[in-house]
Homo-oligomer: A and B are copies of this chain.
Amino acid sequence: MSASTSRRQRLRQATLEEIHAAARKLLVEQGSAAVTINAVARQVGMSGPALYHYYADHDELVGAVTADFFRELAAAMEQARDARAGAPVGERILAVCRAMRAWAIAHPAEFGWIFASPIAAPNRQPDAARHQAALRFEQVLLDLTAELWQTHPFPVPDLAELPASLREQLTTYFAAIDGQLPPQAAHVFLSCWIRLYGLLCMEVLHQLDFAYADLEPVFEECLRDLAVALGIDDDAAA
């Protein structure tokens, strides 16, 4: 090879980016059903089957684009976090949550795609890239919560009072996150995650249109609840 990245590799990389951009454009402008192998290829200026040199099948293309979205979302959250590098951890947590919703609102098609695409494949394999990107996304708030836990521990339930099955699952999760949070604290974190992510999920999936046109105040109220649960509702914001 002529350099660390050969000319071929650079061209290929550029084509991949062009493919992703085309897929995204189709998604945003015409909905998820419009993101077909043929349509993407047309958009890029190639003829259908050429795309199979870049992805094994339609699912793999979808997975790659989804990974992009996860990465972009995670990056937006990380940026919100780093922009407040010196601030109290509670403040950074709230900023990251708002950044998460801001990205979802600014990119509803992409955020919806994140939920919609797994439906097509309930028997999905790990799908390295996508799964990796999803983990990074989940990790942002987990990291901050772990930091909060270590510097300003929040109230947690007594492990002995939780149902046995829940205790087991939390212990498994405790191991899965390399002990970043003890099971009781992980339970609080997951409860917050469920409320936060669940609300955004419903908003983007238009499950609340029957009552709300603008969920911003509902989201802010949710954040206040989470702040209470995490003990970051005082002025110092922990």
* Interface residue ranges, A against B (CB under 8 Å): 31-33, 112, 115-116, 118-120, 122, 134-135, 138, 162-163, 165-166, 169, 173, 176, 186, 190-191, 194-195, 197-199, 201-202, 205-208, 210-214, 216-218, 220-221
- With a cutoff of 8 Å between Cβ atoms, the chain B residues found around residue A205 in the complex are 115, 118-119, 201
The smallest C-beta distance from A101 to any residue of chain B, in angstroms, reads: 14
Determine how close the nearest CB of chain B comes to the CB of A235; give it in whole angstroms.
19
Chain A binding surface, main DSSP class: helix
**Nearest opposing residue in chain B for A123, CB measure:** B31
Given contacts A165-B214, A190-B211, contact A202 B201 (CB under 8 A): yes
Contacts of A134 in B (CB 8 A): 210
In the complex, which residues of chain B have a beta carbon less than 8 angstroms from the beta carbon of A210? 134-135, 138, 176
Contacts of A186 in B (CB 8 A): 211
Choose among B119, B216, B217 the residue that contacts A112 (Cβ–Cβ < 8 A). Answer: B119
Given A122-B31, A218-B194, also A211-B173 (CB < 8 A)? yes
Rounded to whole Å, the gap between the CB of A87 and the closest CB of chain B is 24
Please give the distance in Å from A223's CB to the nearest CB on chain B: 13
Complex alpha-carbon distance, A138 and B33, angstroms: 29
Does A166 lie within 8 Å of B198, measured CB to CB? no
Q: Which 8 A-B pairs have the closest CB atoms?
A: A198-B198, A166-B217, A163-B217, A116-B119, A173-B211, A198-B202, A190-B211, A169-B212
In the assembled complex, the CB of A123 is this many whole angstroms from the nearest CB of chain B, namely: 9
6 cross-chain CB contacts under 8 A: A138-B210, A173-B211, A186-B211, A194-B208, A195-B198, A198-B199
* Bound Cα distance from A137 to B118, whole angstroms: 25
Known contacts being A198-B195, A198-B198, A198-B199, is A118 close to B206, with CB within 8 Å?
A: yes
